[in-house]
């Protein structure tokens, strides 16, 4: 209801503004939804007169009065009772009865569809999500990615779009050649069977350590040059072998392909266990290797050279030059053209002492040894998604460490002529755990599994403390609380923020936590349980609602707006924040008001409670959190 009123207000305000003689295009941000506890302001408020005042040469109050008058004369939209001006703001006051009935029937009739939207021309959105590298464990960063992605994509779907979730596995690159070498030389078949990821991670780290060992030695000048040389030689031997293995893989050598497939399969098996626990699924798992193995990389490289978008450096590597002014409007399909010409790069090169010095950045697509890079595969991926899916949007949920990279990628994609798709990097901040809260065996990696296990242990303790008998499904309830804990925390902060995740604090039923929201919904169910039946919305007499009831009602009416905000921002934080607020409002509703015992508003409040549980259900479902009928 409020949602529609707001749309109508925007339209009405636009007309009134034009009629009042101001040259100003009203948009969505010009109609703000206010806190209803502020009587003065009304439920909607528009600050647009402040934007108009300067140009019009009139004080904001006068502008506001003129527009408000025009709007009044044109007729206010359904659901709006009055318009007033206060301190330059144009304030709209809603008709409470109409709002109450409409909102409740929207929710109760809408059921699981309340908040959903159907659009006539939905976007096909190709979402690049989770995307771990194989042969390593999922870590806490992947948890954030996977959970955030799931929630954001759920929202986009509920807002009417077609989303294809692609788990873009990192399964290609020389590091897997290194791993093959390390495995054939030092690996252990039994360990690969029993503990594949651990074993592969050991081997991987062993390979990497040779470099840091060498750096160490060079720093400590006590060792002889000959010793350092010997170590260097040893390291180079392994590096060479790794490269060779990767070359064999690229040439589809049988033994190499077999090994690589084994690494890939065991990794996917392990990843799937965690994804299952989280209850997330993907539509496809294409992975970087696909683009290498199926010729998509080659096609991109060929085209880049043919179209004169890319050039070679003196070592034979191929790159697309990116100029500083290319970054403007990156990712925007309607953006001004990026300049694909190489003339400019050639000129800049002439003026400088080499690429490092020139006023452009090279986006490499072929290395001097002929192999492809991460960026090559990403360009190929964009092309593939355009060709195979006719994607309107290609969006990437990837940590903000890669901000710069994605900007470059998007520019490079435009130069390649992949213009007809919106490119969006849905970046998110770093996640860490409080110092010392988790002992990790493997250096710095805190695995997703460790986090989930720990949350489950804590949740179990809480459920047991609450005195559930052993024959109850303690495990199941604990599991759902644990997931609510982790999932809520992963999306509760705006995605750009770095977060510290304190499991012990977040698992609590009190405080700003997922379980707190979950618990509020459970209270709703137990109230409904106490009633024989819940009356129909038609039996509700809104005049029986008091201010506390109305506050809850307005909160419920905001839900579609919140989803709209999430959609705009590609974030789930507004939803998490909203649900927490709803839990607070609902808690104060039943502390202040009687429901089952009420003599004046029992029917009304039962319907209101039912509507509240519905909104909790819908909202939590989008976050991937289960509601609990009992706790």
Among 168, 264, 456, 605, binds ligand ARG (CB under 6 A): 168
Query: Which CB, 103 or 381, lies closer to ligand ARG?
Result: 381
Coil vs helix vs strand at 82: strand
Query: Which CB, 319 or 396, lies closer to ligand ARG?
Result: 396
Write down the least CB distance from residue 251 to ligand ARG, Å: 24
Write down the least CB distance from residue 287 to ligand ARG, Å: 9
Write down the least CB distance from residue 145 to ligand ARG, Å: 9
Write down the least CB distance from residue 128 to ligand ARG, Å: 5
Q: Measured between alpha carbons, how far is 451 from 143 in angstroms, rounded to an integer?
A: 9
Q: Give the ranges where 111-173 is alpha helix by DSSP (H).
A: 140-158
Footprint of ligand ARG on 52-81 (CB under 6 A):
none
Query: Which CB, 60 or 287, lies closer to ligand ARG?
Result: 287
Nearest Cα residue to 76 out of 13, 23, 33 = 13
Write down the least CB distance from residue 31 to ligand ARG, Å: 37
Write down the least CB distance from residue 140 to ligand ARG, Å: 13
Mask for 458-487, x = binds ligand ARG (CB under 6 A) = ------------------------------
Footprint of ligand ARG on 381-420 (CB under 6 A):
381, 396, 398
Query: Which CB, 413 or 483, lies closer to ligand ARG?
Result: 413
Q: Which residues contact 474 (CB under 8 A, 6 or more apart)?
A: 460, 463, 464, 468
Write down the least CB distance from residue 546 to ligand ARG, Å: 52
Work out the widest C-alpha separation in the chain, in whole angstroms. 93
Write down the least CB distance from residue 414 to ligand ARG, Å: 17
Q: Can you say how many angstroms the Cα of residue 78 is from the centroid of all Cα atoms in its chain?
A: 36
The angle formed by the CA atoms of residues 242, 248 and 251, to the nearest 5 degrees, is 145
Query: Which CB, 150 or 378, lies closer to ligand ARG?
Result: 378
Cβ(175)–Cβ(204) below 8 Å = yes
Residues present in the chain in total: 631
Q: Which stretch binds ligand ARG (CB under 6 A): 125-133, 327-335, 432-440, 569-577?
A: 125-133
| Token couple for 266 | 């065991």
Q: Is 354 exposed, middle or buried (0-12, 13-18, 19+ CB in 10 A)?
A: exposed
Query: What DSSP state is assigned to residue 94?
Result: E
Query: Which CB, 114 or 172, lies closer to ligand ARG?
Result: 172
Q: Which stretch binds ligand ARG (CB under 6 A): 71-79, 128-136, 415-423, 481-489?
A: 128-136
Query: Which CB, 131 or 153, lies closer to ligand ARG?
Result: 131
- Strand 32-33 relative to strand 431-432, pairing: unpaired
Write down the least CB distance from residue 331 to ligand ARG, Å: 14
Q: Measured between alpha carbons, how far is 176 from 407 in angstroms, rounded to an integer?
A: 27
Residue indicated by tokens 């040894």: 369
Number of CB atoms found within 10 A of residue 452's CB: 22
Q: How many CA atoms lie within 13 A of 13 on its CB side?
A: 30
**Beta-sheet strands, E only, within 99-140:** 124-129
φ/ψ of residue 181, rounded to 5: -60, -50
Cβ(423)–Cβ(394) below 8 Å = yes
Contact between 562 and ligand ARG by CB under 6 A: the answer reads no
Query: Which CB, 291 or 586, lies closer to ligand ARG?
Result: 291
Contact between 133 and ligand ARG by CB under 6 A: the answer reads yes
Q: Which stretch binds ligand ARG (CB under 6 A): 126-134, 296-304, 445-453, 552-560?
A: 126-134
Query: Which CB, 397 or 507, lies closer to ligand ARG?
Result: 397
Contact between 300 and ligand ARG by CB under 6 A: the answer reads no
Cβ(328)–Cβ(337) below 8 Å = no
Query: Which CB, 81 or 427, lies closer to ligand ARG?
Result: 427
Query: Which CB, 409 or 622, lies closer to ligand ARG?
Result: 409
Write down the least CB distance from residue 410 to ligand ARG, Å: 12
Q: Measured between alpha carbons, how far is 629 from 525 in angstroms, rounded to an integer?
A: 6
Cβ(20)–Cβ(67) below 8 Å = yes
Query: Which CB, 378 or 460, lies closer to ligand ARG?
Result: 378
Nearest Cα residue to 547 out of 37, 34, 94 = 37
Among 30, 128, 326, 604, binds ligand ARG (CB under 6 A): 128
The angle formed by the CA atoms of residues 625, 33 and 579, to the nearest 5 degrees, is 15
Write down the least CB distance from residue 428 to ligand ARG, Å: 12
Q: Can you say how many angstroms the Cα of residue 422 is from the centroid of all Cα atoms in its chain?
A: 16
Q: Measured between alpha carbons, how far is 345 from 339 in angstroms, rounded to an integer?
A: 10
Coil vs helix vs strand at 63: helix
Footprint of ligand ARG on 365-384 (CB under 6 A):
378, 381
Contact between 131 and ligand ARG by CB under 6 A: the answer reads yes
Query: Which CB, 229 or 401, lies closer to ligand ARG?
Result: 401
Query: Which CB, 396 or 488, lies closer to ligand ARG?
Result: 396
Among 170, 321, 515, 624, binds ligand ARG (CB under 6 A): 170
Q: Measured between alpha carbons, how far is 349 from 354 in angstroms, rounded to an integer?
A: 6
Query: Which CB, 36 or 134, lies closer to ligand ARG?
Result: 134
Count of residues touching ligand ARG (by CB under 6 A) = 9
Cβ(138)–Cβ(271) below 8 Å = yes
φ/ψ of residue 318, rounded to 5: -115, 135
Contact between 424 and ligand ARG by CB under 6 A: the answer reads no
Write down the least CB distance from residue 398 to ligand ARG, Å: 4
Write down the least CB distance from residue 385 to ligand ARG, Å: 10
Give the CB-nearest residue to ligand ARG: 170
Write down the least CB distance from residue 131 to ligand ARG, Å: 4
Footprint of ligand ARG on 312-341 (CB under 6 A):
none
Footprint of ligand ARG on 564-593 (CB under 6 A):
none
Query: Which CB, 188 or 401, lies closer to ligand ARG?
Result: 401
Q: Measured between alpha carbons, how far is 177 from 241 in angstroms, rounded to an integer?
A: 8
Q: Please name the helix (run of DSSP H) or strand (run of DSSP E) that holds residue 205, with its range, or none.
A: helix 196-219
Cβ(214)–Cβ(223) below 8 Å = no
What are the DSSP calls for 424-453, one per residue? EEEEE--EE--TTSS--SSTT--BHHHHHH
Q: Which stretch binds ligand ARG (CB under 6 A): 94-102, 127-135, 443-451, 464-472?
A: 127-135
Residues found near ligand ARG in the complex (CB under 6 A)? 128, 131, 133, 168, 170, 378, 381, 396, 398
């Amino acid at each position: 209801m409020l949602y529609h009123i707001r749309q109508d207000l925007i339209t009405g305000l636009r007309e009134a503004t034009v009629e009042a003689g101001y040259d100003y295009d009203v948009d969505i941000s010009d109609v703000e939804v206010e806190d209803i506890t502020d009587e003065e302001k009304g439920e909607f408020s528009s600050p647009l007169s402040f934007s108009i005042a300067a140009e019009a040469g009139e004080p904001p109050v006068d502008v506001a009065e003129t527009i408000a008058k025009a709007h009044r004369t044109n007729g206010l939209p359904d659901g709006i009772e009055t318009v007033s001006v206060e301190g330059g703001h144009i304030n709209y006051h809603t008709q409470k009865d109409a709002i109450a009935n409409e909102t409740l029937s929207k929710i109760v009739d809408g059921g699981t569809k309340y908040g959903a939207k159907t659009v006539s021309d939905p976007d096909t959105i190709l979402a690049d999500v989770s995307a771990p590298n194989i042969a390593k464990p999922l870590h806490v960063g992947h948890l954030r990615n996977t959970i955030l992605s799931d929630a954001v994509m759920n929202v986009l779907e509920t807002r009417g779009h077609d989303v294809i979730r692609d788990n873009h596995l990192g399964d290609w690159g020389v590091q897997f050649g290194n791993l093959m070498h390390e495995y054939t030389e030092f690996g252990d078949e039994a360990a690969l069977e029993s503990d594949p990821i651990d074993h592969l991670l050991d081997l991987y780290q062993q390979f990497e350590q040779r470099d840091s060992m060498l750096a160490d030695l060079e720093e400590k000048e006590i060792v002889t040059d000959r010793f350092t040389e010997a170590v260097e030689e040893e390291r180079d031997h392994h590096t060479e072998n790794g490269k060779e293995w990767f070359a064999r893989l690229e040439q589809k050598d049988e033994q190499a392909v077999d090994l690589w497939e084994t690494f890939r399969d065991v990794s996917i098996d392990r990843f799937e266990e965690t994804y299952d626990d989280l209850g997330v699924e993907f539509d496809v798992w294409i992975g970087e290797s696909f683009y290498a193995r199926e010729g998509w990389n080659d096609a991109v490289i060929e085209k880049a050279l043919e179209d004169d978008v890319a050039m070679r450096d003196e070592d034979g590597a191929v790159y697309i030059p990116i100029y500083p002014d290319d970054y403007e409007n990156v990712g925007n399909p309607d953006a001004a053209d990026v300049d694909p010409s190489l003339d400019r790069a050639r000129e800049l090169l002439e003026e400088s002492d080499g690429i490092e010095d020139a006023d452009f950045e090279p986006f490499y697509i072929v290395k001097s040894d002929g192999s492809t890079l991460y960026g090559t595969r990403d360009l190929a991926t964009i092309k593939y998604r355009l060709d195979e899916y006719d994607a309107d949007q290609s969006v990437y949920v990837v940590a903000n460490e890669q901000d710069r990279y994605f900007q470059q990628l998007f520019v490079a994609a435009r130069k390649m002529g992949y213009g007809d798709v919106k490119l969006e990097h849905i970046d998110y901040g770093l996640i860490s755990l409080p110092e010392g809260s988790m002992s990790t065996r493997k250096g710095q990696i805190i695995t997703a599994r460790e986090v989930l296990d720990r949350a489950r242990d804590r949740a179990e303790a809480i459920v047991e403390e609450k005195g559930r008998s052993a024959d109850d499904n303690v495990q199941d309830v604990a599991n759902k609380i644990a997931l609510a804990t982790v999932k809520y925390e992963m999306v509760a902060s705006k995605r750009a923020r770095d977060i510290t995740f304190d499991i012990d604090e977040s698992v609590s039923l009190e405080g700003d936590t997922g379980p707190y929201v979950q618990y509020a919904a459970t209270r709703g169910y137990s109230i409904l349980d106490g009633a024989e039946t819940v009356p129909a919305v038609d039996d509700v007499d809104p005049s029986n609602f008091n201010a506390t009831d109305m506050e809850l009602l307005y909160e419920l009416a905001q839900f579609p707006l919140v989803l709209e905000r999430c959609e705009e921002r590609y974030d789930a934080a507004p939803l998490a924040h909203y649900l927490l607020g709803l839990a607070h409002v609902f808690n104060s509703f039943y502390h202040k008001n009687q429901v089952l015992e009420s003599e004046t508003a029992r029917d009304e409040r039962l319907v209101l409670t039912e509507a509240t549980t519905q909104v909790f259900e819908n909202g939590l479902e989008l976050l991937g959190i289960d509601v609990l009928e009992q706790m």
